[in-house]
Amino acid sequence: MQEAPSQEGTVALDPSLRFLKTLVTILTATMILGVITFVTVFVIRFPSVTALSLPQGLKLPAGEVAQAVTQGKGWVAIVTESNKILVYDGATGALKQTVTLTP
């Protein structure tokens, strides 16, 4: 029969439980360091967000409301609430193409 733990101090752990406790502590510390490293690398390496620079002459047709804007090399596309994609020249802002989307 096992002896009852003494009330005077802490109870000595079984060696296998002490080993398991050490492994859990090491795993916790490793995970914390991993998350800190991941967040640090993500913040350092993430490209800074730059403002979208639209051409000065860009004007939407009357009655159109922009829903989304995207920009590529030499062009700007605006998706409107009336399901149209308006493609503009990136330098001058002149309308180059209109694409109507079917719902």
pLDDT in tens, 67-102: 999 988 889 999 999 999 999 998 888 899 999 988
Taking only the tens place, the pLDDT of each residue in 9-50 is: 667 778 889 999 999 999 999 999 999 999 999 888 877 767
Residue type, 92: T
- The pLDDT of residue 32 is 98
Q: How many CB atoms lie within 10 A of CB 16?
A: 8
d(CA 26, CA 34): 12
- Cα separation, 88 vs 101, whole angstroms: 17
> What is the DSSP pairing of strand 84-89 with strand 75-80?
antiparallel
Query: Residue 96, Cβ neighbours under 10 Å: how many?
Result: 14
Secondary structure (3-state) at 68: strand
Say what the pLDDT of residue 7 is: 59
The pTM for the full model equals: 0.52
Give CA angle at 45 (39, 49), nearest 5°: 105
